Structure 1
Amino acid sequence: MTALTERRAFPFLGDTLDDLEGISQHRLSCWLHCLRDCLYASGLHDTVRALAQPLDFAVERDADGNVVTLYGGLETDYHNPSFQRGLSASWVAASPAPEAALDRVRAELERGHAVPLSPNLSEMRHSEFYRVPFVGYPHTLIVHSLGRDTAGIADRNSRKSAGFTEHRGTVPLDELRQGMAGAPLLVFDVASPAADWDTELRALLTRSVRRLGEPDGAGRGLAGIKSLPEVIEEVSRHPRHLHMRVAGPLQRQVAGDRRLLASVLTREADEGRSPYAPERDLNLARLLHESSDSFMSLARCVHLNARSWSRAALDRCRMLSSRIYDLDARVTDLLTARLTAAA
């Protein structure tokens, strides 16, 4: 098979890699999900260690103090991402001229890389965001082939009417060209790691402890988690915002960093690599799984009650937020102990 044929046949954004990695796409931000699958297609299979991010939590507000979105470690360095295991990636703006907007995409495809990118979706008819106002972080999809009149893409937010199969299908090339004019694409490279894995992991855990326990601003870290009930109550004054600004971000921008780091620590224990007792790493992983699951439960609670918000729903959110705070505080303490033991 040619490289182009292999890309077309690769199960981008399907369930195959979710099963292989043990991490559901519903726990990953769209841009990281797309990057993971592009890395697998290009031959890098140690994606859990490469992509794991420091734990974090933040409430993002606009200049007027209104809540825009919530995010965790997967979005903290979104604009200037940093990874492990020799992986580097950066957002590059496509040409603002529609006729040249796909030039860099084509160049990356010729390198053998499928391309994560974030077009303006307002006029792309396949998308759930077609003619829908969008706030927060741009949605990311994958382009894996460019034909004469159509582009082969993978997009987990395609409309049912688009006729996609397992999130994959084609879109008119002109629509993609217009959507990509001036829009960002994620260009990645993989080289030999600059540091050994133990050093990279220590840096990852150190930054996790600092971001949760010693945040650099209001509404961040453990203090930000403690404020979640008040944040949700504030957003509930405009119920239509609860889905896009609270429920969705909690599910895909917060729960995922806990799940990724849990997978890293589980592998450390399973491979007998940990300088800490393996059972303690497994306990850390268990707590991180519980934290991730609790964020998902909170997201579901907000989502299911958004149209008929009530005091009972807010009380449920308070209970779940308190549990998340207790779990993440415990994780922070245990990560500190692990770093001390390994020093």
Structure 2
Amino acid sequence: MKQEWKTIEGNISTVTQFILLGFSDLSNLQGFLFGLFLSIYMIIVIGNSLIIVLIKIEPALQKPMYFFLANFSFLEICYVSVILPRMLVNLCTQDRSISLLECATQMCFFLMLGATECFLLAVMAYDRYVAICNPLHYPLVMNQKMCTQLAVGSWIIGMPIQIGETAQIFSLRFCDSNTINHFFCDIPPIIKLACGDTSLNEIITFVLAVVIVSVPFTLILASYSKIISTILKLPTASGRAKAFSTCSSHLLVVLLFFGSATITYFSPKSNHSAGRDKLLSLFYTIVTPMFNPMIYSLRNKEVIAALRKLLFKK
């Protein structure tokens, strides 16, 4: 693997190309890993695409809840497509080099889509809050215009923040090493390669992460505190079970995504290790999107009914 450097003033060299180590330490498993991640990518794309098609063609699924689910499924396809194709190419060709511009682009899209996921999960929690706590006003509050505005807002609200964050990270000079001990261009391993004092950049990254993660998560907690309070007041056990089943899938996805992402980005720098970061990143970037279609379909009777109707339609 060749290292590319550019000489700047003072005869100091700076990195113009990175090397993504990925899983190069598992040299005997490269073929197996390629097949595994290719299978996972196909499962994610096919599973989420199927949910989008079902919601599009099935009249029974023309509801705000499923409108947001279709957005979420499309987001998951985009999210993994920022990371997995590049990883598959690296595993197949064993050429792990990535230019500085490509690395910055990958990070920017990863961060923007991650922010979108945070806010979209908050919007989905709000939708469940209105449906369960204010059922009579639900059709008026969650009308088509409101749903569209909430979805569009989720997609664009994090864009300027994450573009700015990517710009401030890649404004650093990288002159000690160009080897990234990760399978994609994530913030912690990139900052480790920077020259000089990076404390200000780490503080900015932490503050932005707090804003992007804590604001949606607080809204989700507020929504579910109201939802749980309302469900517990229902007179029958069957009514409580039905109400809880409408939001249990979403709650499970929230716990999986926010749990692993929080451990990665909010743990002290001293606790970071390459192996641990890679494992956690695999969880919230690949494993969770793979299980999301199954979580939402297997735990939702309306989706299962629509799937049966599609499969057995003459």
Structure with greater proportional helix content? 2
TM interval, shorter chain, is 0.3 to 0.5
Name which one, 1 or 2, has greater alpha-carbon Rg: 2
The one of the two structures with greater contact order (alpha-carbon pairs below 8 A, sep at least 6) is 2
* TM-score normalized with structure 1 length: 0.30
TM-score normalised to structure 2 length: 0.33
